[in-house]
Structure 1
Amino acid sequence: MNVVTETPKKKRETSPWAVLAITLSAVFMQLLDTTITMVGVPSIQADLGASYGQIQLVVAGYTLAFASVLVLGGRLGDTYGRRRMFLAGMLGFTLASALCGAAPDAITLIAARVLQGLTSGLMFPQVLGILQVMFGPAQRAKALAMYGATVGLATVLGPVTGGALIDADLFGSGWRSIFYINLPVGILALALGLRMIPESRAAKASRLDVRGAVLLTAGLFLLVMPMVVGRDQGWPAWAWICMAVSPLVLAVFVRAERRHSAPLVDLKLFRQKPFTLGLAASLVFFTGIPSFFMILVILLQTGLGYSPVKAGTVTLGFALAMAVGSARSAAVAQKLGTRILVLGAALMLVGQAAVMAVLYGTGTSLSGWHLVVPMFVAGLGGGLFLAPLTHVVLAGIRSDDAGSASGVLATAQQVGAALGVAVVGVVFFGLIGANAAGSSAAATPQLRASLVAAGLPTEAQDRVVEGFETCFDDQAHAEDPAETPESCKAVAAEVAASPAAPEVKAKVAAAVQDVAVPHARLDDFNRSMRGSLWWHLAVFATALALVSRLPKVELAEGHGAGAA
């Protein structure tokens, strides 16, 4: 993608910082939507009767569609004008957000989220191209640092923002407000963009590689989609076939790109070791962040019974630390150069290990404040990693290749996010079912003590305990967590039909619903998150290993992507 541009004469001088503010507001809104839905998972499930697989698609469908269009979107901007494509994408994103908010069922919401992702992929790659035009080499590094910080903060502020919006219940909209909030932001960005963003395009735009775009999209969807919905469907044959075919389709894509005169992805970029290592580290790192917040928010809301805003508040320490890390990243990078990514990945790894240690140490006594310090450490690492990432990865890329390289980098990040959600969904939700028997057994002593205190005979206690264990196991394996299994209905019916006194029945029901179920659920979700975090530790350790192999290069002021 050639980033040498020709910009029409403007009637008035446009402040590059004003354009930066407009474009970064769009970036923030787009990337916020990768995680803002996570805090709304329980509300969406309860309202729309969505399965775990459908909820994963609400999250991963957006990021996957986003990733599939990014490189093509950049090429469209080079050919037809970056301002034009940015505004067209913003318009489509705003309309798709309205459709998400009005979705009557899970399938409609998933389709609207995919449309959101497609329009985001059209808009997002124009930002770096516009910044190339607006900023000279001396200011570009600072603009890129602000861009990197925006990417990181938007990714982690989703749960906080979503929780606050759902709790506020604006106009009775509930979880739908997390999508409706995009409407005023999108309309304002459209109005200001029309007035202030200058048009630019590549001086010599290449023809579109439609075949490459189709192959890349097909290969990614064939890989991720079965991973998301396969568990819900009992891993049917088609899921395995799709995942097996995906590498073949991607291999065809690579072969087609080698033969194309104007490929969608310039494979010569991968001959540069620093770029390839940085790209791989970026993809791996992004598999960890959104997927971590997805299971954390589910643990907090479903396991601990936190409200959306309270669950979001627990993540605030991560966001604040990321803001600190992002703000200090430029100064740290002046001392450490590319080694700043090593420091960031190491702190993230330490923070994640500390989260796991807290979960092991507290068990069912877990409270949100226990996670404040580990989350702060992880957030500081995230800020030091993500803010300079774009600058570091693209530092050695020629100006003529910067547009293509930045598109590939953004694609890798969103593919990583989608893959992470898919993989962790399989692990986490699978562990919830696998751990159910052990968690219900852990709650049994407390349940028996409550039943004894209620005055229930021993034989009746045995039936209640057995029924509770069966019910809990069935609930943990249910596709729709909002649906009450028949075994649970049978337990309730047996207690209601018991000849015991009404006050005894009330105490028995309270012992099951208010004591045993919350204890077992928290134990189950705690164990399942601990198991999932082993995967996260491996992810961030891999990212650390990759960036450790980057050559130690000083990052001089103004030496960024596309710098002259």
Structure 2
Amino acid sequence: MSTETSKTSPERSNGPAQEERNETTAPATTNGSSVDRRRWLALAIVMTATFMDLVDVTIVNIAIPSMRQHLGASTSAIQWITAGYALAFAAGLITGGRLGDIYGRKRVFLIGITGFTVASLLCGIAANPGMLVASRIFQGGMAAMMVPQVLAIIHVTFPPHERGKVFGMFGAIVGLGAVSGPMLGALLSDGNFFGLEWRPIFLINLPVGIAAVILGRVFISESKAPKALRLDLVGVVLATSALVMLIYPLTQGRENDWPLWGFVCMIASPLVFAAFVAYEKYKIKKDGSPLVELSLFKVKSFAGGIVVQLTFGLATGIFFLVWTLYMQMGLGWSALRAGATGIPFSLAVSAAAGISVGKLVPRFGRKVLQAGALIMAAGLLLYIWESEHYGMEIAAWQMAAPLVLMGIGMGLIVAPLNDTTLSEVPREHAGSASGLINTTGQMGNALGLALTSVVFFGMIEDDMVFGPPYVEAFRGALWWVAAVLLVIFAVMFMLPRKPIPMEQREGGSEYAGPTGSPEPAAPAAEKVPAP
């Protein structure tokens, strides 16, 4: 393992010095210098971008019934508004990270946040469901360029002794996004500001995004991978095609009476995925720069963690969409009332996440994650019972108990899952592995959203008849989610009994960063699903 060295080349101008770092090290700082101040401003900018992405994911679900009402969106369009974003995000995450390594993380970050802001504008002015879906897919693709650069920029901007504090702040931003997104979405959509109905949930990104682009050009320093890398375009096309061939028919099938072409696409999807695996093996032999490092799957704990990530994303993708539809289109609640109902869940996630990482997992290992799956399943069963017992008269406070149980269970899983999955992966592959974990989670989320056409809308004869049919379908969907959580519990036996301490992991004190370039070790951030 090579020793890190700093190679900087200042470009002098009337503004702050712009440094390009070809290796991922933190800049030297002096007390009171402009460089010292710049790194905190750079942190504020990238964390603002992270917050935008997190809130945009959580804010949309709560406004979907309003979008459906005012745009006349079909069932499949509703699914695509959320699944399209998740699919584009999943398909582009690893590619976005590699582009940052090749062309510069600052450059790709600025392109991503600019595109994300433009996409937000297009979503906000969408005249019909088709335009909104296309804009959401574009927005997900731009997020995939923006998000992978955040941790890499933090790595090159801050010295090792400051990163603990920085990642603590990063975790707080993730928690804040999870808690504030649903309420912000409810306030903006229910408020009907300037008669714009749901549109402010997207338009609010415009001033934030514009400010981030302007300030990012000045205060973020450029960095690239220390060695030349190549982009695996064929791998990108094959992987994306396999995903689309599975998710598109699932989403559109019900509205088209499950046509033959849909089944052909779904059957062909695993074949295209097999072609992707074969090509990646060829790519490894050819130039050693595959899109996915296949040797990672020889590590049992990593393979198990990937399956957990995929199925957990599937479960949460189903739950959060059908939960929103249940409260607003089944029970007839306002967006504000539905958003407020989710507060106990979000608080429980944040509290359990902190305890699980700091105290429980080091002592009890994978049992904590397995307990989380069982607690979530118990919360779902309680929710099913309450929904059936109280029917249309159920109150928000009565939902608090199952939601708190689900929040505790989720917090016990999402916070330690990345580190547990990575614990037996060699350090030189940890960056690629981390990117693949996050990609798999988004794939699961997109698949879960697509499956709502089967497990939720498939139980409703006429999806324009609101009320009890949506309540019944909600209970049916929860049984499926509970079953998936039991599968997750079983798969978790593939995880190590206890994560290997960081200092004892294979490969020394360095590891491949978020996209495969050598970087100092740092905790991988987990995007916490939220209503």
More helix by share: 1
Note the 1:104-503 alignment, pairs <5 A. Answer: 104-134=127-157, 147=170, 154=177, 158-260=181-283, 261=287, 262-332=289-359, 333-433=361-461, 476=462, 481=464
The 3 A distance-change label for structure 1 pair 98 and 125 is same
Contact 1:343 1:381 in 2 (8 A): yes
Mapped to 2, the partners of 1:338 and 1:5 lie a distance apart of 38
- Which amino acid in structure 2 is aligned with residue 547 of structure 1? M
- Which amino acid in structure 2 is aligned with residue 530 of structure 1? R
CA shift at 1:40, angstroms?
1.6
SS of equivalent to 1:280:
helix
1:48 to 71, 75, 81: 71
Mapped to 2, the partners of 1:191 and 1:383 lie a distance apart of 36
- Which amino acid in structure 2 is aligned with residue 298 of structure 1? L
Return 344-353 or 533-542, whichever deviates more. 344-353
SS of equivalent to 2:90:
helix
- Which amino acid in structure 2 is aligned with residue 72 of structure 1? T
Q: Give the unaligned 5+ runs of structure 2.
A: 10-18, 20-33, 512-519, 522-531
Q: Which deviations, in whole Å up to 9, do the C-alpha atoms of 1:139-176 show, x marking residues without a partner?
A: 65665566566557645754332112111222222111
Contact 2:102 2:225 in 1 (8 A): yes
Q: Which deviations, in whole Å up to 9, do the C-alpha atoms of 1:49-78 show, x marking residues without a partner?
A: 110111111110111011111111111111
Mapped to 2, the partners of 1:4 and 1:170 lie a distance apart of 52
Mapped to 2, the partners of 1:542 and 1:52 lie a distance apart of 28
The 3 A distance-change label for structure 1 pair 157 and 356 is farther
Q: Which deviations, in whole Å up to 9, do the C-alpha atoms of 1:161-208 show, x marking residues without a partner?
A: 211211122222211111112112222332343333322221113211
Mapped to 2, the partners of 1:16 and 1:386 lie a distance apart of 29
The 3 A distance-change label for structure 1 pair 29 and 559 is farther
Aligned to 1:451: none
Contact 1:63 1:117 in 2 (8 A): yes
The 3 A distance-change label for structure 1 pair 162 and 339 is same
Return 195-204 or 307-316, whichever deviates more. 195-204
- Which amino acid in structure 2 is aligned with residue 30 of structure 1? D
Q: Which deviations, in whole Å up to 9, do the C-alpha atoms of 1:9-37 show, x marking residues without a partner?
A: 54613676654443333223223323322
SS of equivalent to 1:104:
coil
2:116 to 81, 87, 93: 93
Q: Which deviations, in whole Å up to 9, do the C-alpha atoms of 1:117-148 show, x marking residues without a partner?
A: 11111112222323443456666566556656
Q: Which deviations, in whole Å up to 9, do the C-alpha atoms of 1:226-281 show, x marking residues without a partner?
A: 11111111111221121111111111111000100211111111111222211211
2:45 to 22, 27, 33: 22
The 3 A distance-change label for structure 1 pair 203 and 188 is same
The 3 A distance-change label for structure 1 pair 328 and 190 is farther
Q: How many residue pairs were aligned? A: 480
Mapped to 2, the partners of 1:354 and 1:315 lie a distance apart of 16
Q: Which deviations, in whole Å up to 9, do the C-alpha atoms of 1:443-496 show, x marking residues without a partner?
A: xxxxxxxxxxxxxxxxxxxxxxxxxxxxxxxxx25xxx3xxxxxxxxxxxxxxx
Contact 1:141 1:558 in 2 (8 A): no
Contact 1:83 1:200 in 2 (8 A): yes
Mapped to 2, the partners of 1:6 and 1:288 lie a distance apart of 44
Matched, 1:533 2:510: no
SS of equivalent to 1:63:
helix
Contact 1:145 1:330 in 2 (8 A): no
Matched, 1:72 2:17: no
Mapped to 2, the partners of 1:211 and 1:554 lie a distance apart of 35
SS of equivalent to 2:198:
helix
The 3 A distance-change label for structure 1 pair 340 and 148 is farther
Mapped to 2, the partners of 1:272 and 1:14 lie a distance apart of 42
Mapped to 2, the partners of 1:410 and 1:13 lie a distance apart of 32
Q: Which deviations, in whole Å up to 9, do the C-alpha atoms of 1:285-333 show, x marking residues without a partner?
A: 1112232111111111111111111111111111111121233333223
Task: Mark the structure with the bigger radius of gyration.
Answer: 1
Aligned to 1:60: 83
% identical equivalent positions? 41
Aligned to 1:38: 61
CA shift at 1:111, angstroms?
0.7
Contact 1:212 1:256 in 2 (8 A): yes
The 3 A distance-change label for structure 1 pair 370 and 181 is same
Mapped to 2, the partners of 1:353 and 1:209 lie a distance apart of 45
Contact 2:423 2:499 in 1 (8 A): no
Q: Which deviations, in whole Å up to 9, do the C-alpha atoms of 1:199-222 show, x marking residues without a partner?
A: 222111321111001111111111
Return 168-177 or 111-120, whichever deviates more. 168-177
SS of equivalent to 2:386:
helix
Mapped to 1, the partners of 2:212 and 2:271 lie a distance apart of 41
Contact 2:59 2:182 in 1 (8 A): yes
2:107 to 84, 89, 93: 84
Return 218-227 or 148-157, whichever deviates more. 148-157
The 3 A distance-change label for structure 1 pair 422 and 97 is same
CA shift at 1:416, angstroms?
0.7
SS of equivalent to 2:101:
helix
Mapped to 1, the partners of 2:258 and 2:5 lie a distance apart of 49
